[in-house]
Amino acid sequence: MPPPLTEIPGIPRKPAMDDRRPSFLARQRELTCLLNALRERQSRLILGPPGSGKSRLVAEALARIGEPFVRVPLWPAVLHDLLTDLAERLGCRPGSRPNLKSVTSPGLKSLILAKLRAKARCIVLENVRPAEPRTYRFLQEVHYLPGCCLLVTACSRDSLGHLRKLLWDPRETIDIKPLPRSSATQLFDEMARMEGIVVGELPALRAKVLTAAKGNPGQIVTMCRLAARPEYRAGDRIRFLPLRIDALMGSIQ
């Protein structure tokens, strides 16, 4: 059993959820799989559409298991930007250079790998887009470092680019499926209570939200939060069409 990891100084932990958080619903199987993988320092690929709960699943698992991690929430366009981001988050020193941004890519790679060899960590890469060959080769080295693991979220396997060659095993993949109707209804009702939505057409609003969301928890949460805002109200009714359009535009952005 690998020794427990300790907190990374200077890197704030992203909370699993915000202060007005609904309960963690219908993801116990996925959460258990991810927790087991983290305990064994095994890499995992988490696939699902925007709003399906990939980031929340990762945050919940890391918060529960107490693992320190280095999180890259915005996938960089080129390898050098990824290396600079990781080096900064790991607290690497630039040596004789004025700052890490002035260090070459090979230099940054050496600094990062040395840090990870000295103290293994979980690297969280979110919203991954097609990775170039050099990025794949670097992450391959990280993947095989003793005690290190990669936690990657993406919309689909096709969006990984060359990284598909590293995270190819279906046994290392967690697919985030839409919520079943019962869980989606429970999430809506909980969000409606939290947001103080008390309208004459609450059952009709519930039906519209659940139909539009198609089991996507992010969309349910977003629509409930928008429904609580005055600009979407007309008396005791909620103007659903503009609410739905704005919720969709938010998920695209």
Q: What's the token pair of residue 246?
A: 């704005």
Q: CB of 178 within 8 A of CB of 72?
A: no
Which DSSP state fits 163?
G
Give the separation between CA 173 and CA 30, rounded to whole angstroms: 10
Model confidence band, residue 229 (pLDDT cutoffs 50, 70, 90)? very high
Q: What local confidence, expressed as pLDDT, does residue 251 receive? A: 62
| Residue linked to tokens 């939060």 | 225
Cα angle value 97/103/106 (rounded, 5°):
135
Q: What local confidence, expressed as pLDDT, does residue 25 receive? A: 61
Q: Determine the topology of domain 28-175 in CATH.
A: Rossmann fold (3.40.50)
For the chain, which residues make up each domain, given as ranges? Answer: 28-175, 181-252
**For 69, phi and psi rounded to 5 degrees?**
-155, 160
Encode pLDDT of 172-181 as tens digits. Answer: 999 999 999 9
Q: What local confidence, expressed as pLDDT, does residue 22 receive? A: 63
Encode pLDDT of 102-157 as tens digits. Answer: 999 999 999 999 999 999 999 999 999 999 999 999 999 999 999 999 999 999 99
Q: Which residues of 129-156 are buried (b: 16+ CB within 10 A; e: fewer)?
A: eebeebbbebbeebbeeeebbbbbbbbe
Q: CB of 223 within 8 A of CB of 234?
A: no
Q: What local confidence, expressed as pLDDT, does residue 97 receive? A: 82
Per-residue pLDDT at 21 exceeds 60: no
Q: CB of 91 within 8 A of CB of 65?
A: no
Q: CB of 123 within 8 A of CB of 115?
A: no
Q: Mutual orientation of helices 28-39 and 54-65 as an angle, nearest 10°?
A: 50
Please give the model's pTM, rounded to 2 decimal places: 0.81
Give the separation between CA 54 and CA 14, rounded to whole angstroms: 14
Encode pLDDT of 81-109 as tens digits. Answer: 999 999 999 999 888 788 898 999 999 99
